[in-house]
Structure 1
Amino acid sequence: MNRTLSTLAALLVATSAHGQAINGPARVVDGDTLNVGGVTVRLFGIDAPEAGQTCGDWLPGPKAAAALSAFIADRNVACEARTVDRYGRTVATCTAGDGDLGARMVAAGWAWAFTRYSRDYERQEAAARAAGLGVHGKGCETPWTWRAKGRQ
């Protein structure tokens, strides 16, 4: 019974979050997560390297976070909520200036298109992979593979 109530509560939160606008200054948490006006926002459709993830002796997580910070460049961030994830974060498409932050992260090679949830950024990932940008130039495994091995 508790599980059913929890699932129903999560569904109600996700439904109410869909389409919600979140705007304001942002603080980067990691390569795919922001805090916008006190709301933790996970960028929709992408997955960036984890903070402790390694690719050989290279540490891509902090580089991805720095890239996201540079793409924001002290501008306000505008997000449109799509859902809420299992950790309670709002999952949203966000822009800063004229650019979709998820698209920019994937196009620059700092994140993968998270095709389990969206195919929106496949073209950007293919171009970044072909050019050997960021994680693609270092042979990094995807964060979901890295996490599946019990790494955090």
Structure 2
Amino acid sequence: MPALPLLAAAVIACTAPKVHDGDTLRCGADRVRLFGVDAPEVRRGKTPAEPLAYEARDLLASLTRGRVGCRVVDQDRYGRHVARCWSDASPDINAALIRSGLTSEYRRYSKGAYAAEEAKAKAARRGLWASGAPARPSR
């Protein structure tokens, strides 16, 4: 059997994972990139953080305080698991982050899976979509 179907069937579970930024966490030794979520980048070396980067990171941390589960859908070029996650705080962490307006949908990979959540954030002018919010670099 090919490795990808086995990988895609995997579930990663942990309690209170370490949160790196608004779209990446670590469950034990497993690095997880949230499927379809594009968060502003936190500071890296001399490169300053993008607007709302730490707010997105803090929201992800609050959504993952208890038990967390992630269903792996792919692996990225950095070897991280790409997954849809849920927790005691949210049945769909990925959607909650996008709906908050602190992250956007990464349509290049998600193909519109979270379009409704992003539309809600835009309509409510939350986070990245707020009037007067600084523009993010295009990706």
Deviations 1:43-66 (A, max 9, x none): 001111111343xxxx31111000
Decide whether the 8 Å contact of 1:108 with 1:134 is kept in 2: yes
The question of whether the paired residues in 2 share the 8 Å contact of 1:28 and 1:65 is answered with yes
The residue that corresponds to 1:71 in the other structure is 63
Following the alignment from structure 2 to structure 1, what is the Cα–Cα distance between the partners of residues 99 and 85?
15
Q: TM-score, normalised by structure 1?
A: 0.77
The counterpart of 1:129, out of the listed 122, 127, 131, is 122
Equivalent residue, structure 2, for 1:50? 41
Distance 2:4 2:78 in 1: 12
Counterpart secondary structure, 2:108:
coil
- The Cα offsets for residues 33-87 of structure 1, whole Å up to 9 and x where unpaired, read as 0101220000001111111343xxxx31111000111122x21110000111001
SS in structure 2 at match of 1:107: helix
Q: Which residue of 2 aligns with 1:7?
A: none
The answer on 1:113 being equivalent to 2:105 is yes
Partner of 2:135: 140
Normalised by the length of structure 2, the TM-score is 0.84
Asked which structure has the greater CA Rg, the reply is: 1
Number of residue pairs matched by the alignment:
128
| Per-residue Cα deviation, 1:19-43 (whole angstroms, up to 9, x for no partner) | 1010012111100001012200000
State yes or no: 1:23 paired with 2:16. Answer: no
Contact 1:13 1:84 in 2 (8 A): no
Q: Which has more helix, going by share of residues?
A: 1
> Structure 2 CA distance, aligned partners of 1:140 and 1:99?
30
SS of equivalent residue, structure 1 residue 94:
strand
What letter is aligned with 1:120?
A
Secondary structure of the 1:104 match is helix
Residue of 75, 78, 88 corresponding to 1:87: 78
For structure 1, the 5+ residue unaligned runs are 1-11
- Alpha-carbon separation, structure 2, partners of 1:40 and 1:47: 16
Root-mean-square deviation (CA, aligned residues, Å) is: 1.6
Structure 1 consecutive aligned stretches of length 4 or more whose deviation exceeds 4 Å: 12-15
Match of 2:93 in 1: 101
Percent identity reads 33
Pairwise CA distance, 1:13: 5.5
